Amino acid sequence: MAKRVPAIAVHTATAVLALAPPALLYQVGWLTVPALSTDQLQAWVHQPLTAGFIAMLGYAGAWALWVLLMAAVTNHAHRYLTARLRWHLTLHLPGPLQALAAALLGTTAVTTAAALPAVAHGHTAADTDPPPADRATPIRDAPGQPRPPADPSPPRQVSTATSTTATAVPPSPTTDSARHASQPVLTRTSAHPPPHTSGEMVRVVAGDNLWDLAAEHLGDATRWREIYALNRGHRQANGYALTNPHTLHVGWKLTIPAQATPAPALPRPEPPAAGNSGPAAPEAETTPSAPSIPHISPAPQPSTPNASAPRTPAGTTGATTSTVHPERPYTEPYDETGVVLPTRGWISLGLAAAIAAVATLLRLQRRRHARLALATAASTAPHPAPVPPPLAHVDAIGHCHLGLTSNHQQLAPPTVPAPIGVDGNGTEVSLFRLPGSGFALHGEGAVPAARAILAAVLTTGAADTASVRPVVVTTADLLAQLLPAEASVEGLDPDGTAYDGERLIVLADTDAAVTHAEEEMTSRRRLLDTFDTTTIADVNVRSDHAETPPPYVLLIEPATRYAGRVQAIATHRSALDLHPIVLGPHHGLPTIEITRDGNTRSDPHLMSRVSTMSAENLAAVLAMLTDVQARPEPGVDIDDPAATTPTAPAVEACPVPPEDPSALVHLRVLGPVTVTTAAGPVTTGMRSGSYTVLAVLAAHPAGRTLHQLAADLHPDVNSASAVKRVRTDITTARRVLRTATGHDEPMFIVFDPATGRYRLDPQTVTVDLWHMLTAINHATTSDNDDETLAALRRATDLYAGDFAEGHDHAWAVDYATSYRHQILTAYAHIAEILEPDRPDRAVAALERATDLDPVNEELYQRIMRIHGRQQRPDAVRRTLRRLEERLADLADTEPSQATRRVAERQLLPAVSRAGRTS
């Protein structure tokens, strides 16, 4: 049997090699720096190849080699001591010197082995020496912090996709990743798989742990010890072995034990509707032992591109993992340039943003008409989204792309007007900025592309004044071809009875449409002559005229008899802002050949892909535009007996946990998300994503599955990557909260195996949202005005701002609307209690509510009514004027007829008003 080289011999030889050079250099007199004069330096510059210069180079080189040797020895000693003593100090050699230092250390080892007695043939140091222990990254949440308990944490969903990315839960987010990147790599020539391979083989990805693997593949998270026992000590491909259940390397292949009997499948709830929290999770975990999460260390080998989370190409199904999660709600795929619709459609991010802007405008319109009356029970459920289900994901993606907020009515415009597709570089292409004289659509995707173009034009400028919104002129037959067969063509006109309105002009046939375009062309040409300008754009920047011609789009079918007239219109496209589009081949106009998925066969630099849309999706967009159309509205009069029933959207009741004063963590989600412990606010260590995860779970006391969290928080990210982000955020939140509270045992975010949901532990976390809703519930059940008033004031004091303010994710908008509406109702009820004895304080409460929601008309009606009863006509006029100013920003909206009637009643003389009342 081969003999191992004694460690003392190796260390002795290394010490000799380290100390010999200084001794030799001392003997030859090179330990003293030779005196250098200016003349000598100048002589060396003119004639460098002299004996003295060469001696100086040898002197410097010898010392440099010795310094490198000492650096290599020091680095090796540091690694040895780190492994034995678990030091945290990290030494870094300069990047260019790492390879040279490794070579010197290797040379030293070879020289030492040659000088000592030869060992048996076939054995090397790589075969006999175990890998350094520090390569496995000992488990420490952060330098100086206590180690977590020995068992893994409650299960989380796991993906079996291959990944070689960095760890999802680094022990130290700021230093450990750099430490691993700078360490030398120890490679092995072969892997040693476990001897028992009767079970399933899985590959470890960032975020995995033994607890999750057992829950996923064995149906019981507590069986993680079986996986550990089966794989313990078996060397992996990167040369390391599983010796600590807390430490896994990305890329390891672990064998899952074969199940003697099929494990019972965890019950999976049906995909819930928006805002449905599903069945409530138990108040406390029932699983045994809830220790900390085992860390996954990145494998110490050169990283490769992440193969587990590729960008979903347009037109694919978006499935990127081998594990199917029945509880995950359906979400459409997303790529860098657009969103794939479920009906084989695709729209660019610019069009998604325009649709999201319309959806935001529609939410504001609904808030404007919301009635204020205390519900039977407050709820954490969101208000129903105003977006039709086929466009819900488009709204989420567009919301992220446009950066819309939940409370502001100043809507940011899309990146380009009328976005209809992307060019070869993925840049948004505007219909109004295309070169040429118009175009014709041809091919299998021509009709879906025409639908998307119509949606892009009509959604552009939806929140602007009517004078600058683009106009589309088309025919009744063509519009019927673009819409579903059963669609009712009505809603965009001023009376709400047809699509033939100011923005979408529907004419009888092609002849009428072309004639209308010719008349518009003549009118615009005369306008240019009047102001002596060359383009409509030049006219629109002037301020000495009232007319502002908007972009004009002519969408017709091909007809040979009108080809010349259409060509004449197209000639003036750039100057007059007229844009003819022919659905079919047309002689004289450039033709864009469109495939079924929207790809073009023309110049890719001009237009690579065109947005396409189904008839149902176009009808949904037109329905949204109909609802936000500014038109005279009757409204609801608060003094009308027939309108006493509240019309606020119904929300599902969801019980909230009771207050627990002994909770370790206080979470605030009303306003900016903040976390506070007994030691004060938590200001460091928490990821931005961890805050949003806490906010989502606060809005879902019953819990949320891993994939629901991923779909909520990262709708614009590949599903596998989104899941990994959420798992990392959960782990980080637990780690930071344990450090901040000084308690290693609590989970704070617990997992319920029965429902597959994560939820906040109400025994360790208390939430201001829950306290606010509890106070509102108490007010609704109290018969005493003083108790009711105290409860409502407590609720209003807790409301510090919109839900998750500063984290304007699409999912948060409808939740913020729900909580805002409930607090507005609380203010309205406070005013009702205060008005008889303290009218001024009642007005102050209502004005505070108008600051929270500037567009709700009932608040202004209540204020005007109090001012009228107190004989304050000027205050009534000021209140109405304030409402008019705030609604003017809402797409030229005006107060409803009912609100104006309330104002007129309060302006009547007191005697007349008293007579009307009597």
Question: pLDDT tens digits for 771-828?
Answer: 999 999 899 888 899 999 999 999 999 999 999 987 767 778 889 999 999 999 999 9
Q: Which of 158-162, 281-285, 797-801 has the highest mean pLDDT?
A: 797-801
Look at residue 884 in the predicted model and tell me its pLDDT: 92
**Separation CA 378–CA 475 (nearest Å):** 50
Look at residue 240 in the predicted model and tell me its pLDDT: 85
Look at residue 382 in the predicted model and tell me its pLDDT: 85
pLDDT band at 495 (very low <50, low <70, confident <90, very high): low
Backbone φ and ψ for 467, nearest 5 degrees, come out as: -70, -20
Look at residue 142 in the predicted model and tell me its pLDDT: 35
**Separation CA 720–CA 742 (nearest Å):** 33
Look at residue 871 in the predicted model and tell me its pLDDT: 93
Per residue in 344-357, pLDDT (tens digit) is 789 998 999 899 88
Are 210 and 294 in contact by the 8 Å Cβ rule? The answer is: yes
Average pLDDT score, the chain: 74
pLDDT higher than 60, residue 94:
no
pLDDT higher than 60, residue 49:
yes
pLDDT band at 8 (very low <50, low <70, confident <90, very high): low
pTM above 0.75, yes or no: no
Look at residue 729 in the predicted model and tell me its pLDDT: 94
pLDDT higher than 60, residue 879:
yes
Which residues on adjacent β-strands are paired with residue 249? Answer: 297
Across 865-888, average pLDDT: 93
End-to-end, the C-alpha distance of the chain in Å comes to 114
Tokens encoding 750: 């617990």
Per residue in 211-237, pLDDT (tens digit) is 888 877 887 778 888 888 888 888 888
Range in 104-108, 463-467, 678-682 with the lowest mean pLDDT: 104-108
**Separation CA 732–CA 253 (nearest Å):** 25
Look at residue 609 in the predicted model and tell me its pLDDT: 92
Look at residue 578 in the predicted model and tell me its pLDDT: 94
**Separation CA 710–CA 729 (nearest Å):** 11
Look at residue 786 in the predicted model and tell me its pLDDT: 92
Look at residue 467 in the predicted model and tell me its pLDDT: 65
User: In this predicted model, which residue has the larger pLDDT, 602 or 141?
Assistant: 602
Across 87-101, average pLDDT: 52
Range in 519-528, 655-664, 872-881 with the lowest mean pLDDT: 655-664
pLDDT higher than 90, residue 521:
yes
pLDDT band at 25 (very low <50, low <70, confident <90, very high): low
- DSSP string covering 66-91, please? HHHHHHHHHHHHHHHHHHHH------
Are 707 and 268 in contact by the 8 Å Cβ rule? The answer is: no
User: Helices in 742-838 by DSSP H: which ranges?
Assistant: 768-781, 785-798, 810-834
Query: Per 3-state DSSP, what percentage of the chain is helix, strand, and coil (rounded to 5)?
Result: 45, 10, 45
In this structure, the number of other CB atoms found within 10 A of the CB of residue 493 comes to 19
pLDDT band at 302 (very low <50, low <70, confident <90, very high): very low
**Separation CA 248–CA 207 (nearest Å):** 10
User: In this predicted model, which residue has the larger pLDDT, 200 or 431?
Assistant: 431
Residue 667's contacts (CB-CB under 8 Å, 6 or more residues apart) are 673, 674, 675, 676, 694, 698, 760, 765, 766, 767, 768
Report the candidate in 304, 302, 299 with the shortest Cα–Cα distance to residue 131. 299
Residue 63's contacts (CB-CB under 8 Å, 6 or more residues apart) are 25, 30
Look at residue 581 in the predicted model and tell me its pLDDT: 95
Residue 793's contacts (CB-CB under 8 Å, 6 or more residues apart) are 830
Across 726-732, average pLDDT: 94
Report the candidate in 115, 156, 129, 105 with the shortest Cα–Cα distance to residue 13. 115
CA angle 495, 496, 500 (to 5 degrees): 90
Per residue in 528-576, pLDDT (tens digit) is 988 889 998 888 888 776 678 899 999 999 988 888 999 999 999 999 9
pLDDT higher than 70, residue 259:
no
CA angle 528, 530, 534 (to 5 degrees): 25
Task: Describe the strand order of the beta sheet including 674-677 as a list of residue ranges.
Answer: 680-681, 674-677, 665-668, 765-767
pLDDT band at 468 (very low <50, low <70, confident <90, very high): confident
Look at residue 170 in the predicted model and tell me its pLDDT: 36
- On the 0-12 / 13-18 / 19+ scale of CB atoms within 10 A, 115 is exposed
Per residue in 396-423, pLDDT (tens digit) is 888 776 654 444 444 555 568 999 999 8
Across 445-456, average pLDDT: 94
Across 427-448, average pLDDT: 91
pLDDT higher than 50, residue 687:
yes
DSSP conformation class of 223: G
User: In this predicted model, which residue has the larger pLDDT, 416 or 861?
Assistant: 861
pLDDT higher than 90, residue 640:
no
pLDDT band at 390 (very low <50, low <70, confident <90, very high): confident
Range in 434-443, 480-489, 864-873 with the lowest mean pLDDT: 480-489
**Separation CA 825–CA 859 (nearest Å):** 10
pLDDT higher than 70, residue 289:
no
Residue whose entry in the numeric block shows the structure tokens 């000992």: 138
- On the 0-12 / 13-18 / 19+ scale of CB atoms within 10 A, 83 is middle
CA angle 277, 274, 704 (to 5 degrees): 35
Look at residue 648 in the predicted model and tell me its pLDDT: 45
User: In this predicted model, which residue has the larger pLDDT, 422 or 116?
Assistant: 422
Look at residue 869 in the predicted model and tell me its pLDDT: 92
Percentage of the chain exceeding pLDDT 70: 67
Across 251-280, average pLDDT: 52
DSSP conformation class of 693: H
Across 248-266, average pLDDT: 68
Sign of CA dihedral 890, 894, 897, 900: positive
Q: Which of 292-306, 393-407, 521-535 has the highest mean pLDDT?
A: 521-535
Task: Kindly state the greatest CA–CA separation across the chain.
Answer: 121
